[in-house]
């Protein structure tokens, strides 16, 4: 009685040893570091490392170590002040051929890292980083939707030769007809083909005018889709650029919260979020001269004036064949014939069909690729106030003759450099923003504040843990010490699971760990009190231990399962800090049941199992 088999004891020891091993990386912490990588395809070599060492030595900046790692240089420092000075110095001295960035480098021993050991990911409040609140320009969303429907409506009515004149006025589309018969025919066509449009009432004095606008439901859906796509795009952009554990989520109807833990360079973070680029494919207006359009100040009705990056003008057709929204894949490469940089493009089904129809119909005509970039910058006024300035640049990358028919797969050439091709492919691969965004709030949490939060969080866990240990040791004596060992192992297992899953630990997550400490010992209290009751009933010590664990199991399971359900609900419907709390609480519930029931039972079996004893120290 009260005896585990040898295999069961070995399995318990194995899981505990595994937990200790994967919790161990968190002891070593992280070093403040500066990361230097190449701005182009050139590899970082030993002479680059020597150059960095000389620069730091000449300025008297002390560093812990500097070495090559994964085609980049990593220089570790003892404090943030030296790290920041070194970053600015290296950025100035090395020039534009190198990318110099701040980093937090784990100081895990190589043998432990080789076994897959990783430290827990720390959230913004513990690690430091940047927080942005972005606002989506919903007015631009509606404007773009109106433009799209305007083009569709004009194409639809032109095919039947129904309208006399069509134009956009604010948020409405105004159509003029020659007679009421054509107007009635157009109404029937709009209601059958474009039911997302609402017909507006017109006064009796203009019976041949028709005003339409987007329906309320269509406007609402357009805003919702734009916000959702922007969130996905921002997440893809940040992931492509290698920011660890970003938090990107919706706030309200028009705003997005972006948190980038570990990013200390606010300018770099803005660059990541401001990398808003897309493409448009348009036919070249072969019939009209762009120089005449510039001199007269009037462009043809069906065309718009665009410019190459070197300033050359070109007239392009208004109709857009495909946009960045149709791009499903993009990769950079080198053209085998000209040895020039290029980007391989893959379109979705709709974009591929439009491209196929266009290249069939306009063979030997020219098609241009327009690169569109949106930027938002803060302008400082003389009176000390600031304002946001949004700029949009539209540059023609190339205008090549369509030599043959193609659809979903083709190449873009005319790009200046391999780096520009890689950046363009990265931005297109991550997707285009469906609406402009603006940074309306910006906060930076420094590493020193994060370190202070960690100290306070660890202190709260330690104080709570020690108080529980003292209570259990005094109240239940040897059994209390068994519970204390199980409780210690429970904390180790929580840290190990968080490290292996790379779940982000936040301050609320630490609160979840503190709560788990109380819940874990609660299971042992139930077991020990049940053992006392069984001793009073039967007087048989071995039977009392067995009955105490067996009969308390159901109560413990019920209590923990109900709490686990609540934690899962918090994780499903909560955001940010609430999720962090729910994650640690859920993990803690599972590990505490294992340590409180299985591990503590194994220890008690070793102390009292199969032994003739007269009294229990409980």
Provide the sign of the torsion angle of the four alpha carbons 106, 111, 114, 119, taken in this order.
Answer: negative
Question: How high is the mean pLDDT of the chain?
Answer: 81
570 within a domain of the structure (yes/no): yes
259 within a domain of the structure (yes/no): no
CATH code at 42? 3.30.70.260
User: Which pLDDT band holds residue 374 (cuts at 50, 70, 90)?
Assistant: low
Write out pLDDT tens, residues 507-517.
Answer: 788 888 888 87
Predicted pLDDT at 195: 78
CATH code at 173? 3.90.1070
Structural contact between residues 599 and 489, judged by C-beta atoms closer than 8 angstroms = yes
Percent of the chain with pLDDT over 90: 6
Top pLDDT among 312 and 270 is at 312
118 within a domain of the structure (yes/no): no
424 and 300 within one domain: yes
User: Which pLDDT band holds residue 284 (cuts at 50, 70, 90)?
Assistant: very high
Mean pLDDT in residue range 4-27:
88
Write out pLDDT tens, residues 539-557.
Answer: 788 888 888 888 888 888 8
350 and 314 within one domain: yes
Top pLDDT among 348 and 204 is at 348
Structural contact between residues 268 and 138, judged by C-beta atoms closer than 8 angstroms = no
119 within a domain of the structure (yes/no): no
Top pLDDT among 236 and 175 is at 175
17 and 45 within one domain: no
Distances (CA, A) of 281 to 141, 278, 316, 340, 352: 20, 10, 10, 21, 12
Top pLDDT among 346 and 612 is at 346
DSSP character at residue 111: H
415 and 370 within one domain: yes
User: Which pLDDT band holds residue 285 (cuts at 50, 70, 90)?
Assistant: very high
Predicted pLDDT at 248: 85
User: Which pLDDT band holds residue 575 (cuts at 50, 70, 90)?
Assistant: low
- How many structural domains compose the chain? 4
Last residue of one domain, picked from the residues 395, 412, 444: 444
Write out pLDDT tens, residues 381-393.
Answer: 656 666 656 677 8
Q: What tokens appear for 323 in the block?
A: 């946009």
CATH code at 594? 1.20.1640.10
Alpha helices in 366-446 (DSSP H): 418-430
Distances (CA, A) of 106 to 30, 61, 112, 304: 4, 21, 12, 54
592 and 490 within one domain: yes
pTM beyond 0.75: the answer is: no
435 within a domain of the structure (yes/no): yes
Q: What is the largest CA-CA distance in the chain?
A: 110
Percent of the chain with pLDDT over 70: 86
484 and 579 within one domain: yes
Last residue of one domain, picked from the residues 444, 466, 499: 444
Domain with 331 in it: 275-444
Predicted pLDDT at 177: 84
189 and 287 within one domain: no
pLDDT of 480 > 90? The answer is no
Please tell me the distance from the alpha carbon of residue 134 to that of residue 256, in angstroms, as a whole number: 5
435 and 301 within one domain: yes
513 and 555 within one domain: yes
424 and 364 within one domain: yes
Top pLDDT among 286 and 420 is at 286
Q: Report the residue count for the chain.
A: 618
563 within a domain of the structure (yes/no): yes
pLDDT of 5 > 70? The answer is yes
585 and 468 within one domain: yes
Residue that has been written with the tokens 């109404």 in this structure:
187
DSSP character at residue 123: -
70 and 16 within one domain: no
Last residue of one domain, picked from the residues 426, 444, 462: 444
């Amino acid at each position: 009685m009260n005896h585990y088999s040898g295999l069961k004891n070995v399995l318990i020891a194995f899981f505990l040893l595994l937990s200790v091993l994967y919790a161990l990386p968190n002891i070593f912490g992280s070093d403040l570091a500066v990361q230097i990588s190449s701005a182009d395809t050139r590899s970082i070599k030993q002479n680059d490392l020597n150059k960095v060492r000389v620069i730091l030595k000449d300025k008297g900046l002390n560093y812990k170590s500097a070495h090559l790692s994964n085609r980049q240089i990593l220089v570790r420092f003892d404090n943030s002040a030296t790290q920041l000075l070194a970053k600015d110095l290296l950025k100035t001295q090395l020039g534009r051929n190198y990318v110099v960035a701040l980093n937090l480098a784990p100081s895990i021993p190589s043998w432990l890292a080789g076994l897959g050991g990783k430290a827990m990911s720390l959230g913004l409040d513990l690690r430091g980083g940047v927080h942005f609140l972005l606002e989506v320009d919903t007015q631009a969303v509606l404007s773009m939707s109106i433009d799209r429907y305007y083009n569709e409506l004009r194409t639809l009515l032109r095919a039947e030769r129904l309208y006399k004149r069509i134009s956009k006025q604010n948020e409405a589309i105004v159509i003029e007809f020659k007679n009421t018969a054509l107007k009635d025919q157009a109404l029937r066509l709009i209601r059958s083909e474009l039911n997302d449009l609402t017909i507006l009432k017109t006064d009796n004095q203009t019976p041949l005018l028709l005003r339409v606008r987007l329906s309320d439901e269509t406007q609402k859906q357009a805003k919702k889709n734009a916000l959702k796509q922007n969130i996905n795009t921002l997440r893809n952009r940040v992931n492509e650029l290698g920011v660890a554990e970003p938090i990107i989520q919706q706030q309200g109807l028009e705003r997005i919260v972006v948190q980038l833990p570990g990013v200390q360079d606010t300018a770099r973070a803005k660059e990541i979020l401001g990398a808003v680029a897309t493409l448009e494919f348009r036919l070249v207006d072969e019939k009209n001269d762009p120089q005449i359009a510039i001199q007269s100040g009037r462009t043809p009705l069906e065309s718009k004036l665009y410019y190459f990056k070197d300033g050359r003008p070109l007239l392009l057709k208004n109709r857009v064949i495909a946009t960045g929204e149709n791009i499903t894949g993009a990769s950079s490469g080198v053209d085998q014939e000209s040895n020039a940089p290029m980007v391989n493009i893959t379109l979705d089904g709709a974009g591929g069909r439009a491209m196929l129809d266009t290249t069939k119909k306009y063979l030997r005509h020219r098609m241009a690729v327009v690169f569109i970039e949106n930027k938002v910058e803060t302008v400082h006024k003389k009176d000390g106030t600031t304002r946001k300035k949004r700029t949009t640049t539209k540059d023609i990358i190339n205008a090549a003759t369509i030599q043959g028919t193609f659809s979903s797969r083709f190449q873009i050439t005319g790009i200046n450099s391999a780096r520009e091709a890689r950046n363009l492919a990265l931005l297109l691969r991550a997707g285009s923003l469906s609406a402009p965004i603006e940074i309306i709030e910006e906060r930076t949490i420094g590493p020193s504040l994060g370190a202070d939060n960690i100290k306070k969080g660890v202190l709260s866990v330690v104080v709570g843990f020690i108080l529980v240990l003292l209570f259990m040791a005094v109240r239940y004596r040897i059994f209390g010490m068994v519970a204390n060992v199980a409780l210690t192992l429970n904390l180790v297992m929580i840290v190990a699971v968080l490290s292996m899953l790379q779940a982000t630990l936040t301050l609320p997550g630490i609160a979840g760990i503190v709560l788990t400490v109380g819940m874990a010992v609660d299971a042992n209290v139930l077991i020990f009190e049940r053992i006392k009751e069984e001793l009073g009933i039967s007087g048989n010590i071995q039977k009392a231990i067995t009955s105490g664990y067996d009969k308390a199991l159901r109560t413990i399971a019920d209590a923990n399962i109900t709490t686990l359900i609540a934690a899962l609900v918090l994780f499903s419907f909560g955001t940010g800090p609430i999720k962090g709390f729910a994650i640690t609480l859920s993990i803690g519930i599972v590990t505490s049941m294992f340590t409180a029931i299985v591990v503590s039972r194994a220890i008690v079996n070793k102390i009292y199992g199969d032994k003739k004893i007269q009294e229990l120290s409980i």
